[in-house]
């Protein structure tokens, strides 16, 4: 299910750690203040670095934002892949994969008072990355359903239904526990039907 290679693969360990520290600071500030109110100066200061150091990694604030979004996408991809590959009784991996995706988004973005602004700030590249990730998740769900004995066309339709319904649940879930419970009920109801 890998969508892209990691940009950090070419960095030395010291540079990779600095880059991660910058991204940690940026993510915290974007969530706390929104994209517009977060400045390059604030990111550098929160990371304990100079603006010059930050510009050695990113050309501008949008590039920092894209890197933060890519990191979140990587976390989603890894969590979903791990859940689908788990040796657990069917349909638990389906529920775990959908829950993992939405918990990460809920914990890292949706909890922000600026979530709407952050979702709108996505650059075209990031939008394509998340669309490709959604397609990879749908493919993973479909393959899990096929391995469980569903005919491919039916499995693809079921995967789309589960994916869409889980998005709706995630948009209304008050917290992670509610999200987990409702997605688990959804998967069991649809797959058992």
Give the pLDDT score at 161.
97
Give the pLDDT score at 9.
58
Third-level CATH fold of 61-192 = Tetracycline Repressor; domain 2 (1.10.357)
Q: What is the pTM of this model?
A: 0.85
Average pLDDT (56-71) is 95
What does residue 146 show for φ and ψ, rounded to 5 degrees?
A: -65, -45
46, 22 Cβ separation under 8 angstroms: no
Average pLDDT (6-30) is 88
* Segment 156-192, tens digit of pLDDT: 999 999 999 999 999 888 889 999 999 999 999 999 8
Average pLDDT (95-100) is 97
- Does residue 48 come out as left (phi exceeding 0), alpha (psi in the -120 to 50 range) or beta? left
Residue 2 has pLDDT above 60, yes or no: no
What does residue 9 show for φ and ψ, rounded to 5 degrees?
A: -60, -25
**Cis bond before residue 91 (omega within 30° of 0):** yes
191, 95 Cβ separation under 8 angstroms: no
CA separation for the pair 167, 159 (Å, rounded): 12
Map out the domains of the chain as residue ranges: 61-192
Residue 28 has pLDDT above 60, yes or no: yes
159, 84 Cβ separation under 8 angstroms: no
What's CA 110's distance to the chain center, in Å?
A: 11
């Amino acid at each position: 299910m890998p969508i892209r290679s990691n940009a950090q693969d070419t960095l030395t360990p010291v540079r990779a750690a600095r880059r991660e520290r910058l991204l940690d600071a940026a993510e915290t500030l974007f969530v706390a203040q929104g994209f517009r109110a977060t400045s390059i100066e604030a990111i550098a200061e929160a990371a304990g670095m100079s603006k010059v150091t930050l510009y050695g990694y990113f050309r501008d604030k949008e590039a920092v934002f894209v890197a933060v979004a890519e990191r979140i996408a990587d976390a989603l991809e890894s969590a979903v892949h791990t859940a689908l590959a788990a040796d657990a009784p069917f349909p638990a991996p389906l529920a775990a994969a959908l829950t993992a995706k939405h918990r990460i988004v809920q914990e890292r973005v949706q909890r922000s008072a600026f979530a709407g602004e952050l979702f709108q700030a996505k650059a075209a590249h990031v939008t394509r990355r998340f669309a490709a990730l959604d397609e990879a998740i749908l493919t993973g769900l479909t393959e899990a359903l096929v391995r469980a004995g569903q005919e491919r066309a039916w499995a693809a339709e079921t995967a789309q239904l589960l994916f869409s319904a889980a998005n709706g649940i995630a948009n209304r879930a008050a917290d992670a526990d509610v999200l987990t419970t409702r997605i688990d009920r959804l998967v069991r109801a649809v797959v058992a039907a």
